[in-house]
């Protein structure tokens, strides 16, 4: 294993536990509240249930069922508002659910306080996160207990229940064009990634929580749930620290408390000792959502639920496997909400400081490396240029993507100048420096700016 670049608190390695089989009733327990049966709104009958819940986990919720489910929750609860924020290549809507007590009406209201964005099932063949997100919307909408109401009065929850509707319909990892959305958060070629970029620009969520699934590698990689923070070195120190705390002090402990084994994503561990053996994934690649949000000053988290191997009981009854996967997602989400509630001040301080730090235009920018991987010398801009000049043709090609990223530019008489002195300072070289691995174009570095 390579040493960590920055001095960090060593990650904890929790002991594995056998995941208990979950009943359908257990899946209906709200994240922060009393059982759902006590949370129904007056005169509204029983709260709606997802297709997954109705089938006791035998099948996943269909997209028409999702539409009807969200509409029913929206109608019945003043805490919920559902909007369409994009459309896929095949014409399916990308939905955003805004939750608060009451539901926030504008992006500005969300920006003024603490907020959490859940991005569910970017990969269409990874459905458990989507199911957890859908039932969570309902549970937060109808919870009556004072703890949940106090949480929603202070924290807005944003949910994209199906971040890849075309892929979910086809049960494929990529979208209808075969593109992995989770590798498109810089180039923004897909409608799905463009919608998520606009959400982050407009709402500026303090925490972005990205729900995925993975296939195990026996015997080194068989945890029920894995999590990881932004490893990209351009994430501000405070944002990085809060992201790691989210993983190690909240997500994993809550999953373990519910009976699930956990680990750090991308690290094989010795099944006997729990010690790390090999780094196989989870680098600082800036185009992955987990890292992109860190560079953009949000606390970030990737969570991966294990799909296989199946037990004999799960082979005989696939619903058992489905319920385990969704149950581990729900347990981890409980930790994420506890994090947002208990560390609200720390989170807002970290994200707020990161968003204004770029205005001072100081410090290096990293074109490679990670918090556990030393960057090569030519990947460190120790004295970055004050901006990048773009030709008219380059500007035409990248202006829409820059706008979605919230990157500011100005005309200077000889083209368009994109200065580093702005909130998204570190993002600018990642997009416009010719040495950046996933850049949009090779701008001309400018060393003398007004």
CB-based contact 439:433 (threshold 8 Å): yes
Angstrom distance (rounded) from CA 334 to CA 258: 10
Model pLDDT for residues 127-175, shown as the tens digit of each residue: 999 999 999 999 999 999 999 999 999 999 999 999 999 999 999 999 9
31: which DSSP letter? S
CB-based contact 184:167 (threshold 8 Å): no
For residue 6, the model assigns a pLDDT of 47
DSSP E strands, 134-183: 155-160
Angstrom distance (rounded) from CA 233 to CA 231: 6
- Which residues are registered as beta bridge partners of 299? 207
The pairing of beta strand 207-214 with beta strand 114-120? parallel
Angstrom distance (rounded) from CA 14 to CA 347: 24
For residue 8, the model assigns a pLDDT of 37
Residues 6+ apart with CB under 8 A from 293: 200, 208, 230, 299, 300
Tally the C-alpha atoms within 13 A of residue 260's C-alpha that lie toward its C-beta. 29
For residue 90, the model assigns a pLDDT of 98
Model pLDDT for residues 6-36, shown as the tens digit of each residue: 433 333 332 333 223 222 333 333 444 333 3
| Residue spans in the chain of domains classed CATH 3.40.630.10 | 24-354
Round the average pLDDT of the chain to a whole number and report it. Answer: 91
Please say whether the structural domain 24-354 has been given the CATH code 1.10.1040.10. no
For residue 46, the model assigns a pLDDT of 86
How far, in whole angstroms, is CA 313 from its chain's centroid?
32
| C-alpha separations of 422 from 252, 359, 385, 418 in Å | 35, 5, 13, 9
Residue 298: closest CA among 238, 215, 362: 238
For residue 448, the model assigns a pLDDT of 86
For residue 415, the model assigns a pLDDT of 85
Q: What are the residue ranges of helices labelled H in 204-264? A: 237-245, 252-257
For residue 205, the model assigns a pLDDT of 98
Low-confidence ranges of the chain (pLDDT < 50): 1-3, 6-44
């Amino acid at each position: 294993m390579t040493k960590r670049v920055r001095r960090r608190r060593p990650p904890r390695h929790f002991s594995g536990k056998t995941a208990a089989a979950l009943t359908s009733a257990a899946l209906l327990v709200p994240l922060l509240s009393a059982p759902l049966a006590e949370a129904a709104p007056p005169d509204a009958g029983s709260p709606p249930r997802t297709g997954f819940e109705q089938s006791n986990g035998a099948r996943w919720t269909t997209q028409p069922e999702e539409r009807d489910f969200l509409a029913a929750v929206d109608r019945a609860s003043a805490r919920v508002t559902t909007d369409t924020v994009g459309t896929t290549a095949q014409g399916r809507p990308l939905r955003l659910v805004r939750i608060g007590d009451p539901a926030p009406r504008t992006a500005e209201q969300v920006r003024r306080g603490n907020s959490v964005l859940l991005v569910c099932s970017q990969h269409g063949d990874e459905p458990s996160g989507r199911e957890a997100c859908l039932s969570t919307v309902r549970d937060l909408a109808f919870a009556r207990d004072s703890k949940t109401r106090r949480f929603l009065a202070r924290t807005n929850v944003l949910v994209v229940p199906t971040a890849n509707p075309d892929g979910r319909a086809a049960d494929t990892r990529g979208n209808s064009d075969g593109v992995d959305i989770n590798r498109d958060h810089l180039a923004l070629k897909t409608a799905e990634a463009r919608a998520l970029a606009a959400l982050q620009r407009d709402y500026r969520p303090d925490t972005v929580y990205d729900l995925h699934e993975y296939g195990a590698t026996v015997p080194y990689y068989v945890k029920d749930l894995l999590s990881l923070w932004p490893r990209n070195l351009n994430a501000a120190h405070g944002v990085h620290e809060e992201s790691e705390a989210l993983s190690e002090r909240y997500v994993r402990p809550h999953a373990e408390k519910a009976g699930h084994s956990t680990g750090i994503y991308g690290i094989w561990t010795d099944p006997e000792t729990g010690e790390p053996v090999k780094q196989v994934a989870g680098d600082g690649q800036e185009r992955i959502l987990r890292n992109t949000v860190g560079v953009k000053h949000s606390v970030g988290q990737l969570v991966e639920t294990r799909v296989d191997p199946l037990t004999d009981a799960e082979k005989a009854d696939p619903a058992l496997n489905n319920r385990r996967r969704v149950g581990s997602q729900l347990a981890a989400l409980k930790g994420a909400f506890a994090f947002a509630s208990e560390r609200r001040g720390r989170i807002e301080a970290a994200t707020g400081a990161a968003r204004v730090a770029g205005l001072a235009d100081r410090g290096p920018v990293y074109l490679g490396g990670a918090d556990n991987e030393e960057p090569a010398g030519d990947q460190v801009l120790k004295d970055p240029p004050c901006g990048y000049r773009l030709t008219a043709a380059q500007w035409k090609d990248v202006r829409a993507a820059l706008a979605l990223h919230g990157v500011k530019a100005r005309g200077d008489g000889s083209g368009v100048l994109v200065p580093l002195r702005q909130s998204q300072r570190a993002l600018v070289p990642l997009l416009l420096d010719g040495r950046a691995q996933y850049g949009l174009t090779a701008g001309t570095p400018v060393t003398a700016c007004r």
